[in-house]
Amino acid sequence: MPTALLFAGQGSQYVGMMRDLADEHSTARELVAHADALLGYSLSSIVFEGPEERLKETRYTQPALFLHEAVVMGLVREYIKCDAVAGHSLGEYSALYAAGVIDFDTALRLVQLRGTLMFEAGEKLPGTMFAVIGLDDDKVQAICNRLNDGENVVVAANFNAPGQVVVSGSAQYLRDHATTFKEEGARMVVELPVSGAFHSPLLESARERLAEAINAADFRDASVDVYCNVDALPVRSAELLRARLIQQLVSPVLWTQTMRSMQQAGISEFCEIGPGSVLQGLLKRTLQGTSFRGIDKAADVQSVLHS
């Protein structure tokens, strides 16, 4: 049956992730050591030992998540049939790596730069994000349009699942107006522990600098369909994937639409690669009649290798 691999973004990380994979597989240890050398610091120490607050810093979270997902892919690639890939926000870099569009070194360098630029952008133009639970997508979008007054930014940033949208914008202004979503019928409105207004115009300066690096990087046509965040459509062209990746940083993540597009294309099996089970939870709330699993820990890898 047609299968898609899914890769999560920020929020899925946890201290100690990937450690059992490195303990049990020499190829995983070698890739982790290579990443530490490439980055110029011991990312593995932060991932394996914490503290959690440091791992949560965008500049460390992003390379950590990509590395975990790349390690898992390296261990199971030959054992899993894959017809399509998609990644949520940062996870799109892992999806491109899995589809052969960019190599490991290129992906890690881009992810390191992305995390650093997003961290710096959050310091220059303070932003935040709120999860809005229990409102239709159209209603959340309408409220954002009303609040977004030109000077203060409020946009829908992540369409994660039906009734679950993340909004992004100017920090104090969004905090002051977050109750508007509750007044309009949202069941919950919760601020997220992030360092900026991701997937919003407040990251335009980061997008411009990241675009220079993406344009200079070697991109190849994808070996399978890559469903992109910005339009939820399958792409294989290297140049189109490059353009979508540049646009992604300031555009909403159309995850609900991506899952539906995949199902409409006949995909009925999904496998989340990397830490946690966030995407499996979103999938369960979005689609019916599909099967899904996750590969995170060494035990999960072993079950694939011996299936």
297: confidence class by pLDDT, cuts 50, 70, 90: very high
**pTM, to two decimals:** 0.96
89, 94, 200, 261: which one is catalytic? 89
What is the rounded distance in angstroms from the CA atom of residue 209 to the CA atom of residue 211?
5
What is the rounded distance in angstroms from the CA atom of residue 229 to the CA atom of residue 248?
7
88, 168, 199, 200: which one is catalytic? 199
What is the rounded distance in angstroms from the CA atom of residue 240 to the CA atom of residue 175?
36
Active site residue 88: no
pLDDT at 20 over 90: yes
| Residue 218 burial class via C-beta count within 10 angstroms: exposed 0-12, middle 13-18, buried 19 and up | exposed
Q: 3-class DSSP state for residue 186?
A: coil
Is residue 97 within 8 Å of residue 75, measured between CB atoms? no
Is residue 292 within 8 Å of residue 268, measured between CB atoms? no
Interval 148-196: pLDDT, tens: 998 899 999 999 999 999 999 999 999 999 999 999 999 999 999 888 9
pLDDT at 307 over 80: no
Interval 204-237: pLDDT, tens: 999 999 999 999 999 999 999 999 999 999 999 9
Interval 80-113: pLDDT, tens: 989 999 999 999 999 999 999 999 999 999 999 9
So what's the pLDDT on residue 221? 98
Active site residue 25: no
Determine how many CB atoms are found less than 10 A away from the CB of residue 305: 12
DSSP code for 301: H
Q: Where in the chain is the domain with CATH 3.30.70.250?
A: 126-191
Q: Where in the chain is the domain with CATH 3.40.366.10?
A: 3-122+201-305
Domain 126-191 top-level CATH class:
alpha beta
Assigned CATH for 3-122+201-305: 3.40.366.10
So what's the pLDDT on residue 1? 75
Mean pLDDT, the chain, rounded, equals 96
